[in-house]
Chains A and B, each alone.
Chain A
Amino acid sequence: MIKILDVTLRDGMHQLSHKLPAEKMAAIAAEIDNIGVDSIEFGHGNGLAGSSFQYGFGASTDLEYMKAVSSVVKKTRLSAITLPGIGTRHELQMAQDHGVQIVRMCTQISECDIAEQHIKMAKKMGFETRAVLPCASALSVEDTVRYAKMSEDFGADVVYLLDGGGYLLPNLVYERIAAMKAALHVEIGFHGHNNMQLAIANSLAAVEAGAVHIDGCLKGLGAGAGNCATEIFAAVCDRMGIQTGVDLYKAMDVAEKIVKPIMIRPLEIDSSSLMLGYAGVYSSFLLFAKRAAERYGVDSRDVIREMGKRQCTEGQENLCIECAYDLAQRKHASGNAA
Chain B
Amino acid sequence: MKGTKIKVAILGPGNIGTDLMIKILRRSKYLELALMCGVIAESKGLELARQSGIKTSSHGINDILADKEIKLVFDATVAASHLDHSPLLKEAGMVAIDLTPAAVGPYVVPVVNLDANLEALNLNLITCGGQATIPIVKAISRVVDVPYAEIVAVIASKSAGPGTRQSIDEFTQTTAKGLVSVGGAKKAKAIILLNPAVPPMMMNNTIYTAVSEFKESLIMESVNDMVRQVQEYVPGYHLKIPPNYDGEKVVTMVEIEGAGDYLPKYSGNLDIETSAALAVAERIAMNMLRN
Contact = CB atoms under 8 A, between A and B. Distances in A.
Contacts of A108: 193-196
A84 interface: yes
B249 interface: yes
Interface in A271-294: none
B118 interface: no
A116 interface: yes
A295 B168 CA distance: 33
Given A85-B172, A118-B168, A316-B154, A322 B196 contact: no
Contacts of A295: 246
B71 interface: no
Nearest to B154: A316
Contacts of B142: none
Nearest to A92: B169
A311 B157 CA distance: 12
Contacts of B162: 113
B194 A322 contact: no
A111 B165 CA distance: 9
B116 interface: no
B206 to A, nearest CB: 4
Contacts of A319: 154
A295 B170 CA distance: 35
A124 to B, nearest CB: 13
A311 B198 contact: yes
A111 B162 CA distance: 11
Contact of B152 (A84, A110, A318): A318
B169 A88 contact: yes
B167 A54 contact: no
Given A111-B157, A316-B154, A116 B166 contact: yes
A295 B244 CA distance: 12
Contacts of A316: 152, 154, 193, 195
B241 A118 contact: no
Contacts of A322: 204, 206, 240-241, 253
B122 to A, nearest CB: 24
Contact of B241 (A53, A113, A314, A325): A325
Contacts of B191: 52, 54, 85-86, 315
Interface in B196-237: 196-198, 201, 204, 206, 208, 210
Interface string B142-174: 000000001010100100101001111101110
B34 interface: no
Contacts of A321: 206, 241, 251, 253
Interface in A79-128: 84-86, 88-89, 108, 110-111, 113-114, 116-118, 121
A290 to B, nearest CB: 14
Given A89-B169, A315-B193, A322-B241, A310 B201 contact: yes
Interface residues of A, number: 31
Interface residues of B, number: 35
B182 interface: no
A118 B169 contact: yes
B172 A86 contact: yes
Contacts of A86: 172, 191
A313 interface: yes
A319 to B, nearest CB: 8
B194 A111 contact: yes
Nearest to A295: B246
B150 A52 contact: yes
B192 interface: yes
A251 B27 CA distance: 67
B189 interface: yes
Interface in A299-327: 310-316, 318-319, 321-322, 325
Nearest to B167: A117
Which residue, of B152, B160, B166, B189, has the highest number of chain A Cβ atoms within 10 A? B152
A286 B40 CA distance: 47
B163 to A, nearest CB: 11
Contacts of A318: 152, 154, 204, 206, 253
B169 A121 contact: yes
Given A85-B171, A111-B157, A311 B197 contact: yes
Contacts of B194: 85, 108, 111, 114, 313
Contacts of A118: 168-169
Given A52-B189, A111-B194, 10 more contacts: A86-B172, A110-B157, A114-B168, A116-B165, A116-B166, A118-B169, A311-B198, A318-B154, A321-B206, A322-B206
23 contacts: A52-B189, A52-B208, A54-B191, A85-B171, A86-B172, A113-B165, A117-B165, A117-B166, A117-B168, A117-B169, A311-B197, A311-B198, A312-B195, A313-B193, A313-B195, A316-B152, A316-B193, A316-B195, A318-B152, A318-B206, A322-B204, A322-B240, A322-B241
Interface of B: 150, 152, 154, 157, 160, 162, 165-169, 171-173, 189, 191-198, 201, 204, 206, 208, 210, 240-241, 246, 248-249, 251, 253
**A-B residue pairs, 7 tightest by C-beta:** A311-B197, A53-B208, A318-B206, A110-B196, A85-B192, A111-B194, A53-B150
